[in-house]
Amino acid sequence: MRARMLDLLSAAQHGGYAVGAFNVYNLEGVQAVIAAAEAESSPVILQIHPKALLHGGAPLIVLCQTAADEARVPAAVHLDHSASAEAIERALHLGITSVMADGAGLSYADNVIFSRAMVALAHKHGASVEAELGQISGTEDDLVVAENDARLTDPAQAVEFVNETGLDALAVCIGNVHGQYRGEPQLDLARLAEIRRRVSVPLVLHGASGLKEQHIREAIRLGVCKFNVNTELRQAYLTAARSALTGAKPADLSDLIAAVVAAVKTVVLDKLRLFASGGKA
């Protein structure tokens, strides 16, 4: 059943677990995410990255919405990391009920202006907005942020940002990165705890691929109720596809599809169990 992301996050915030938000690019990715969520009886979020939206357009949004409608668990459809007002408006007109207004690469003042405008636009459509304060380093599709350009979320400024924009969920930067972590992840959990103490909106952590179980558990305890996962899904998909294509027996297309769906589903299952969302549908 299609759900609203903010409803899923509110339930997670009060229930002491987190909802997994998984980036999808095609039918196989969508099938894997929904199948895993149904197997775990878990709520889930299908996320569309701007690069995926550029490629798939309106049909990709409709695909995700249809899959969410037919799912046996609550499933939301969310536009991820969009710095384009035009893309956000288009997604809202197509029925998406939550978007990430990504002004993290702007100055603080411009981030406030952009996020506030997108909140006003989304709320007119009855949709919610996730925005980011600070900036996460790393690479996700064609989005690249160098380590020396990354900025951690300031807890005091977070209060101001939430109040000035009216956002519905806050993505925080506490040492998390997009893509692969170089060495052991170093999360500033004290910073996260202070942000949670100061703001009441649901908190989001991007870059969940590669985080250890103890990082996930502690982040949930300190108030994170949405984790974004992308890199590990893409890796599983491509590894399964390469294996099918280079095996001793030439792969039939249907066999390749089944292989990639199974591989991505396995990753999603592992994450849902880490996020403690099983049985919360």
Is the entire prediction scored with pTM above 0.95?
no
Structure confidence at residue 66 (pLDDT)? 98
CA distance 281 to 264: 20
Q: Which residue has the tokens 């411009």?
A: 110
| Residue 145 pLDDT grade (very low, low, confident, very high; cuts 50, 70, 90) | very low
CA distance 121 to 100: 12
Average pLDDT (198-216) is 90
Q: Are 31 and 67 within 8 A, CB to CB?
A: yes
Where do the domains of the chain lie? 5-231+264-274
Write out the two tokens for 84: 């384009």
- Count Cβ atoms below 10 Å from residue 130 Cβ, excluding itself: 31
CA distance 183 to 101: 30
Report the CATH number of the 5-231+264-274 domain.
3.20.20.70
Structure confidence at residue 153 (pLDDT)? 94
Instruction: Let me know if 270 is a catalytic residue.
Output: no
User: φ, ψ for residue 44 (rounded to 5)?
Assistant: -155, 160
- Residue-wise pLDDT for 34-92, tens only, equals 999 999 999 999 999 999 999 999 999 999 999 999 999 999 999 999 999 999 999 99
Percent of the chain with pLDDT over 90: 82
Percent of the chain with pLDDT over 70: 92
Q: Which of 69, 80, 110, 142 is catalytic?
A: 80
CA distance 219 to 236: 25
Structure confidence at residue 180 (pLDDT)? 53
Write out the two tokens for 67: 């899959």
CA distance 255 to 20: 27
- Residue-wise pLDDT for 81-127, tens only, equals 999 999 999 999 999 999 999 998 899 999 999 999 999 999 999 99
CA distance 111 to 242: 41
| Residue 250 pLDDT grade (very low, low, confident, very high; cuts 50, 70, 90) | confident
Average pLDDT (165-183) is 80
